[in-house]
Structure 1
Amino acid sequence: MDSTTNRRRVLAALGAGVALSGCLGSDPPVAGDDAGADDASEPAETTDSTAGEYSGPFELPVPEDELRRGASKDAIPAITAPVFAADWSGFGEVDATLDDGDEVVGVELDGIARAYPLAVLNWHEIVNDDFDGRPVVVTYCPLCGSAVVADRLAGGEPTYFGVSGLLWMSDLVMYDDRTNSLWSQVLATAIRGELTGETLSLLPSTSSTWGEWRAAHPETEVLVPPPVSGTIRGRQTRQYDVNPYASYQQSSAIGIGFNDAADDRLHPKTSVVGVAADGVARAYPLDAVERAGVVNDTVGDLPVVVAASAEGSLVAYVRRVDGEAVAFERDGSVLVAAGSRWNLLTGRALDGPHEGSVLTRANDRSPMFWFAWADFNPETEIYGVKNATGEEE
């Protein structure tokens, strides 16, 4: 079992002694700074992933005194000129390695597959990208363990997003360079400023290992770290072989100390995938999903299937095929239903009557730490955990 798998099982034994940095309270250490869901068998089904106006449980705008300063603006330099390649070899300026067990955020869009290693996202948090003319932003908050991918639009116009250095509910707060409005990363919503209440149009992404993603997407590109890729502060570089959040990830600490009412039903750093539909929110912890092998469930009126790969990658799909809810079984590393075998990581049917069809994602945000899911979904249920009456939620 490699360190990636261990990390996803409550993120233990990653090593202590590495100082927390970035959005944890100071400018990150710098090494060598220079100045300067398609579904071929049924229509796509979504929950709240379309752009529009926010209608959730939080009052907007967020009061200024609820924002916490973790770093100065742009001290964590967002990537604005990403460069992609088949791997990191051949780039003499990159003093780091990319191994099969390293975690990535994977995005497949418009026939293009790209991987964004957490080794880079831990230090930069935002990648402003473009998929064949479509502006996309890939974001990651190391404090919440959350990845959110969306169309890169503000007020309907392309924009660049940067790291404000502020935190709300221990989550990354972004700003857009069109209006300087502040955006919650997990909510994908402007929480202060001219665009308050506007939500981004979310795009599907996968949290997996580089080896898993590359096996499922042989033609994938991968983000090359700065200084090859450019940042909002020009030429930058970091210690990409060092995880600055290792000691944080193995601890019970939450953010930078402002989560006094954390939901203690699970260890705060438990990895969960959350599904919300029809006014119901449910979290699926990695260990409970692994014990079950495959989970066939219903959230509100939404039939879902949840599973985890051998490397600990959590996935959740709508379990409808040709408009009918079906029950999935597990056959080794694949899912089986309706006469077809389905790739667990991509949701694509590998054979049988539905070959080539792709299951719709049931989650519109990546797996994240339990405390973060619970903060943003305060009425959430937990799969596999008994409630106060002794019944399993």
Structure 2
Amino acid sequence: MRRRRLLGALGAATAAGIAGCTAGYRGGVGRDRVRPPTGGAPVRLPVPWEAMRHPLPRDAIPAIVEPAFAADWSGLDPAVVGRDGLGAGAAVVGVERDGEARAYPLAVLDRHEVVNDSLGGPLLVTYCPLCGSAIAAERRVGGWPTRFGVSGSLWRSDLVLYDEATGSLWSQLLATAIRGPRTGDQLRLVPSRLTSWGAWRDAHPDTTVLLPPPHSGTIDGSRPYEYDDKYPYADERQLVGFDGSGGSGGSGPGVLGRSTLVVGIVSDGVTRAYPHFVVHEAGGLVEDRVGDLPVAVATTPGGGLAAYDRHVDGTTLHFAAVDGPDGEALRAGGSRWSRESGRATGGPHAGQRLRRANEIAPLFWHAWRAFHPETEAYGVTGDE
């Protein structure tokens, strides 16, 4: 039930000084190109203004700048959070840093898209409803903390942010400045997970969760919305092929739809996406090799996907699914490993944690392919 609810939920003004100046360029493979931190082919910069869409003015979607947290949503006004509040199956972005865990519900992110937080240092948490993409990164530009907001522009159907310090425009999925004084700079990514509130809370009992406005303050102090999992972008999602089924979303068996949930891995020049329905139909676990990297890709109790490096202590482990395709654990090397956290909960590796094989959380197939056109898709016969 959690898996179906999460996958359904996933379906769920120009800044000053952005004349294309490349002063301060420091990253990438050349003065006018940058290799994304998430892998893939170099991108030519700056991105032309006419190559972007500009449907809204800056801050029309108000970023959260004063986040507030609590153990749960109990006691919040039902007129704001709905009669059921934050249910166990509600989709969240989870971040764990310096031993502290926080959850950011999509019911809030879908309406605000950007959260300026501090967790183990300045933290930026973003979500693009059109791409189903969640990105967390250090909230620094030029080495200094700054706030980010929603520019109102889209590039490759993905959220474009701006930073207050320089007015540069940033591609969410590239975590890279694509126009403005910091063109070519890249944000340092922070691991995040797309999962359900119940699964995240089970794996992190001491977690806190982001509270919706008015408890959290927004960049313009705007009135709160209703945060009850009724998403406001249904029409736009129809334009990008969102079907909400959690299945392939394609035109036939084994065919990828634009809104199919995938996890992408880049290693040694190889780029590969693993669709949720393929991994689920394989019993909830796929072992593979991406370049020289041996990987285990598994469905999780929270309805998402997890990808791990199978190297542990210099040995390549072979994993087996425990408790079926949506079970709680994997088994390898004599230990039981949590699918959700990658931590060994018993046996000779108890307390160790698998290294993640993916740089960013699972997202829609059309978004992954737009930024990784050379990608392979595991186990499918075609796509729309």
Fold conserved between structures, TM > 0.5? yes
Q: Please give the alpha-carbon distance, in whole angstroms, between the structure 2 residues aligned to 1:387 and 1:233.
A: 45
User: What is the 5 A alignment of 1:167-178?
Assistant: 167-178=154-165
Tell me if the contact between 1:60 and 1:196 (Cα under 8 Å) persists in the aligned partners: yes
1:70 has 2:48 as partner: no
Q: Please give the alpha-carbon distance, in whole angstroms, between the structure 1 residues aligned to 2:164 and 2:79.
A: 29
1:377 has 2:372 as partner: yes
TM-superposition CA deviations, 1:15-62 (whole Å, max 9, x none): xxxxxxxxxxxxxxxxxxxxxxxxxxxxxxxxxxxx954324221100
Tell me if the contact between 1:286 and 1:312 (Cα under 8 Å) persists in the aligned partners: no
Q: Please give the alpha-carbon distance, in whole angstroms, between the structure 1 residues aligned to 2:79 and 2:219.
A: 19
Q: Please give the alpha-carbon distance, in whole angstroms, between the structure 1 residues aligned to 2:145 and 2:223.
A: 24
- Counterpart pick for 2:148 among 158, 161, 177: 161
TM-superposition CA deviations, 1:85-144 (whole Å, max 9, x none): 001123348721111110000000001100000000000000000014x00100000000
Gap regions ≥5 residues in structure 1: 15-50, 256-262, 389-393
Letter in 2 for 1:5: R
User: What is the 5 A alignment of 1:225-264?
Assistant: 225-241=212-228, 242-246=230-234, 248-249=236-237, 251=238, 253=240
| Percentage of identical aligned residues | 53
What is the RMSD computed on CA atoms of the aligned residues? 2.3
Aligned to 1:302: 293
Letter in 2 for 1:315: A
Tell me if the contact between 1:88 and 1:94 (Cα under 8 Å) persists in the aligned partners: no
Letter in 2 for 1:124: H
Q: Please give the alpha-carbon distance, in whole angstroms, between the structure 2 residues aligned to 1:322 and 1:273.
A: 25
Aligned to 1:25: none
Q: Please give the alpha-carbon distance, in whole angstroms, between the structure 2 residues aligned to 1:207 and 1:85.
A: 19
Q: Please give the alpha-carbon distance, in whole angstroms, between the structure 2 residues aligned to 1:93 and 1:154.
A: 38
Q: Please give the alpha-carbon distance, in whole angstroms, between the structure 1 residues aligned to 2:97 and 2:10.
A: 30
| CA pair 331-244 structure 1, distance change in 2 beyond 3 A | same
Instruction: Tell me the matched-pair count.
Output: 341
Aligned to 1:79: 64
Q: Please give the alpha-carbon distance, in whole angstroms, between the structure 1 residues aligned to 2:9 and 2:98.
A: 34
Tell me if the contact between 1:84 and 1:224 (Cα under 8 Å) persists in the aligned partners: yes
SS of alignment partner, residue 222 of structure 1:
strand
Tell me if the contact between 2:103 and 2:210 (Cα under 8 Å) persists in the aligned partners: yes
Letter in 2 for 1:80: V
Gap regions ≥5 residues in structure 2: 13-25, 29-33, 36-40, 243-249
Task: Please state how far the C-alpha of 1:385 moved relative to its aligned partner.
Answer: 1.8
Aligned to 1:107: 95
SS of alignment partner, residue 121 of structure 1:
helix
- Counterpart pick for 1:349 among 344, 347, 351: 344
1:5 has 2:4 as partner: yes
Aligned to 1:337: 332
TM-superposition CA deviations, 1:274-322 (whole Å, max 9, x none): 1111111100000000011211111111111100024421111111110
SS of alignment partner, residue 95 of structure 1:
helix
Aligned to 1:289: 279
Of 166-175 and 231-240, more deviation after overlay is shown by: 231-240
Tell me if the contact between 2:80 and 2:224 (Cα under 8 Å) persists in the aligned partners: no
| CA pair 252-272 structure 1, distance change in 2 beyond 3 A | farther
User: What is the 5 A alignment of 1:353-364?
Assistant: 353-364=348-359
Q: Please give the alpha-carbon distance, in whole angstroms, between the structure 1 residues aligned to 2:288 and 2:379.
A: 11
